[in-house]
Amino acid sequence: MNPEMNDTAVPFDPTDPALHLEYLYGPQWRAVARIVERAAQLTAEERERLNTEAGKQLQTGAAALTGGGGLAGLLSGLGQQPAADPQPLQIATETAKEFGRARNVQIAGMIAGQSISSGSAVAGDIAGLLQSLGSIGALTVVSQAVTAAVLGDLVGRGRFTQDVYDALLRPWADTIS
């Protein structure tokens, strides 16, 4: 009798799509797939709201960098040690590396980006290029959301807390109903 095949074991099926999705996205593949699929269906209004949300995040980040001191404050801080309070995406990147999920985060981000740009015009069309450039904010928000999803089962491990997870996912969740 083959010890790998018994009455209770589920046979290995290399054609099972779930197996491939788990390999690509990690154990949280269902959450990642939901975001990627929904990102492919964004309306123009939703893209604009995501772009607006990304703009708010950029302004908040710039204000935190400058400490409210404008360009002079930002320039005076050059060459100094980075802030002791790392940003959520930095923590997520470190967590992905630490737990062997960097490839999953990269693949999920790439597929999400392709799903957003799939609505663009044919390659070589200047209108399609401009539309893609106009979706950079949306891509940023979606990329953060899939990063959070890939790492969702690691909440509470190291510095990847629920607050970090929520900060990455919130712009997507608040914008897409």
Domain residue extents for the chain: 27-54+86-175
Q: CA dist 48 to 42, 66, 168, Å?
A: 10, 27, 18
CB-CB contact of 95 with 157 (8 Å): yes
Half-sphere exposure of 125 (CA within 13 A, CB side): 10
pTM of the model: 0.71
Q: Confidence band (pLDDT; 50, 70, 90) for 41? A: very high
pLDDT given at position 86: 77
Higher pLDDT, 138 or 121: 138
Q: CA dihedral defined by 89, 92, 93, 99, rounded to 10 degrees?
A: 180
**Euclidean distance between the first and final Cα of the chain, in Å?**
53
Which sign does the torsion angle of CA 172, 152, 105, 112 carry?
negative
Higher pLDDT, 163 or 126: 163
Amino acid at 139: L
pLDDT given at position 81: 42
Helical H segments across the chain, by residue range: 17-25, 29-39, 44-66, 70-76, 88-98, 102-117, 126-133, 136-150, 162-175
